[in-house]
Amino acid sequence: MQFEPIAAIATPHGTGGIGVIRLSGDGAFTVAQRVFHAKSGKALADMAGYTAAFGQVCDVDGPVDEAVVLVFRAPKSYTGEDVVEISCHGGETILRRTLAALLATGARLAGPGEFTRRAFLHGRIDLTEAEAVMQLIGAQSADAVRAAIAQHEGALYREIRQIKEILYQLSAELAAFFDYPDDDIPALTRESVLPRLAEVQEKLEKLCVQYETGRVLRDGVTVAIVGKPNVGKSTLMNRLLGEERSIVTEIAGTTRDVVEESAQFAGMTLHLFDTAGLRETDDPVERIGVARAKSKIEQAMLVFVLFDGSRPLDGEDESIFSMLQGKRVIAILNKADLPQRCDMARIRSVFPDMVSISAAEAHGMDALETRLRDRFRLEAIDPRAGMLANARQLDCALRAKTAVMESRQGLIAGFTLDVLSVGLQTAEDALAELTGEQASEAVIEKVFAQFCVGK
Ligand SMILES: Nc1nc2c(c(=O)[nH]1)N(C=O)[C@@H](CNc1ccc(C(=O)N[C@@H](CCC(=O)O)C(=O)O)cc1)CN2
Ligand SMILES: Nc1nc2c(ncn2[C@@H]2O[C@H](COP(=O)(O)OP(=O)(O)OP(=O)(O)O)[C@@H](O)[C@H]2O)c(=O)[nH]1
Ligand SMILES: [Mg+2]
């Protein structure tokens, strides 16, 4: 197969100290040589892999920049092909001119994720590892980075391989059993098959259940901060952000619009919405704010509902109780630094998950952190273990799980062993699609289309 040289700017757009252009494919050294001249006079094709040269980038109009070039020789490179990386000064114009020079002398502009796709095509990584590259780039918390690294190192791939091995083994035994029924093959029985199907189903179920937790780890949680006016919502928002983002005053009705900001807290990313205090009001601006607060309650994955611990509950608090029915809620009793006059038991009877804090004095923040981690069962998951990383992978795993489950139910219902063959095949295919061994061109296309150019 021919792998024409592809090129792209690999660093972010904008100005930086240096910027890198990547070139990969058959003839990469020849193409780069037309654009780059080493000061030493050495030809790129004569350089050993994993060595560098200093020199000048030129196009038809003359010198563009001075640059450092790295040479990687197939198969010891990111893509598995010959690769040249040109590190220029990080100016948009310089990078564009250098790229244009490469494109004019034999390279083609790389599509999104095409370098990683080449690594996949050369069998260096499977589809889940390729997807992990994207996950790694987008990771927003330390745990998310750990999860992406594990995935990149093949944690999910290995997990799936184990499951596939059980399925393949069963398929092989089944085939032997049907093809040579009279031979001395130990008889395959319902009793011997069922526990193995159960094991596969359980492994797949675990992966699917952990998907939600993994999503929290990767993408973070949307949290609406709500409550009556003046309970300290904006103070809590600012405390979580570590900066004075929302306006705080002693005047009830200070926050009007929704203030959105992301914070790192409890080892995860919280996408916070500080909202207008919920109350009946004739002020037209505040009414819109209250309506927006209510719509954020609908959108958010989690609600922090705040109460002022220094005041008794009133009708407005009670109407908030009913507004939050069916939502995932953590109740926060604020102003714990003041004498407490609020009916804690009443709040706890509605929202069992409750913490007492002082947003102003930063008390109780660690208790809030614990509640949050418990809520998403973050302690129960090991970010280094194999995890499904996106909707595509979840879909494949669910299809496999359903197929196995149906086969099991068929056997339990008294069907003969041949019901297995279709179910096993369906499950094997779904898992082969997950890792990319059997993914269609369309699936692969979709995966890499989500990448950025230059990756
Ligand atoms: N300059 C540069 N930095 C980079 C990358 C890159 O492509 N270029 N990477 C791009 O994402 C990441 C590193 N990933 C890489 C993965 C594999 C190989 C590689 O050459 N592997 C060969 C040789 C390994 C060895 O010497 O043992 C191999 O696996 O055979 C290079 C980079 C982050 N930093
Ligand atoms: N003593 C004490 N005062 C607090 C605490 N948290 C907030 N406050 C005070 O309560 C008042 C209201 O705080 P905000 O954070 O503006 O309250 P809010 O819920 O955002 O109010 P609205 O935006 O009007 O709905 C301010 O005077 C804060 O300083 C706390 O933990 N202890
Ligand atoms: Mg406010």
Report the pLDDT value the prediction gives residue 360, as an integer from 0 to 100: 97
Report the pLDDT value the prediction gives residue 1, as an integer from 0 to 100: 66
- Are residues 142 and 243 located together in one domain of the fold? no
| Last residue within a domain, chosen from 332, 351, 380 | 380
Residue 74 backbone zone (phi > 0: left; psi -120 to 50: alpha; other: beta): beta
- Are residues 285 and 181 located together in one domain of the fold? no
Report the pLDDT value the prediction gives residue 292, as an integer from 0 to 100: 96
Q: Quick one: which atom of ligand 1 is closest to the CA of 77?
A: 20
Q: Quick one: which atom of ligand 1 is closest to the CA of 75?
A: 30
Flag whether pLDDT at 416 surpasses 90. Answer: no
- Are residues 232 and 374 located together in one domain of the fold? yes
pLDDT tens by residue, 265-295: 998 899 999 999 999 999 999 999 999 999 9
Tell me if 19 CB under 6 Å of ligand 2. no
Which residues are annotated as part of the binding site for K(+)?
230, 249, 251, 254
Is residue 217, in this structure, part of any structural domain at all? no
- Are residues 245 and 346 located together in one domain of the fold? yes
Q: Quick one: which atom of ligand 2 is closest to the CA of 230?
A: 21
Residues spanned by the domain of 287: 224-380
Report the pLDDT value the prediction gives residue 9, as an integer from 0 to 100: 97
- State mean pLDDT over 395-421: 93
Is residue 117, in this structure, part of any structural domain at all? no
- Are residues 12 and 150 located together in one domain of the fold? no
Q: Whose CA is closest to atom 2 on ligand 1?
A: 85
Q: Strands 36-38 and 51-59: what pairing?
A: antiparallel
Hey, which residues does 260 pair with through a beta bridge?
273
- Are residues 144 and 55 located together in one domain of the fold? no
Dig out the tokens for 49 from the structure: 């892999």
Q: Whose CA is closest to atom 1 on ligand 2?
A: 335
- Are residues 328 and 252 located together in one domain of the fold? yes
| Better-scored residue on pLDDT, 450 or 333 | 333
| Last residue within a domain, chosen from 67, 95, 110 | 110
Is residue 332, in this structure, part of any structural domain at all? yes
DSSP 115-131: HHHHHHHTTSS-HHHHH
Q: Whose CA is closest to atom 16 on ligand 2?
A: 248
Nearest ligand to residue 279 Cα: 2
Report the pLDDT value the prediction gives residue 129, as an integer from 0 to 100: 92
- Are residues 328 and 405 located together in one domain of the fold? no
* pLDDT band with cut points at 50, 70 and 90 for residue 212: confident
Flag whether pLDDT at 382 surpasses 90. Answer: no
Report the pLDDT value the prediction gives residue 17, as an integer from 0 to 100: 95
- Are residues 246 and 394 located together in one domain of the fold? no
CATH number of residue 443's parent domain:
1.20.120.430
Which residues are annotated as part of the binding site?
22, 85, 124, 230-235, 249-255, 274-277, 334-337, 455
Flag whether pLDDT at 186 surpasses 80. Answer: no
Cα–Cα distance, 366 to 237 (Å, whole number): 15
Is residue 455, in this structure, part of any structural domain at all? no
- Are residues 295 and 376 located together in one domain of the fold? yes
Tell me if 390 CB under 6 Å of ligand 1. no
Is residue 120, in this structure, part of any structural domain at all? no
Alpha helices of 180-314 — where are they, by DSSP H? 190-219, 233-241, 284-299
Flag whether pLDDT at 342 surpasses 70. Answer: yes
CATH number of residue 77's parent domain:
3.30.1360.120
- Are residues 191 and 278 located together in one domain of the fold? no
Under 8 Å between Cβ of 141 and 269: yes
Q: Where are the beta strands (DSSP E) in 60-168?
A: 62-72, 83-90, 108-109
CATH number of residue 256's parent domain:
3.40.50.300
Mean pLDDT computed over every residue of the chain = 93
- Are residues 234 and 344 located together in one domain of the fold? yes
Is residue 206, in this structure, part of any structural domain at all? yes
Task: Answer yes or no: is the ipTM higher than 0.85.
Answer: no
Which residues are annotated as part of the binding site for (6S)-5-formyl-5,6,7,8-tetrahydrofolate?
22, 85, 124, 455
Under 8 Å between Cβ of 31 and 102: yes
Q: How many domains does the chain have?
A: 3
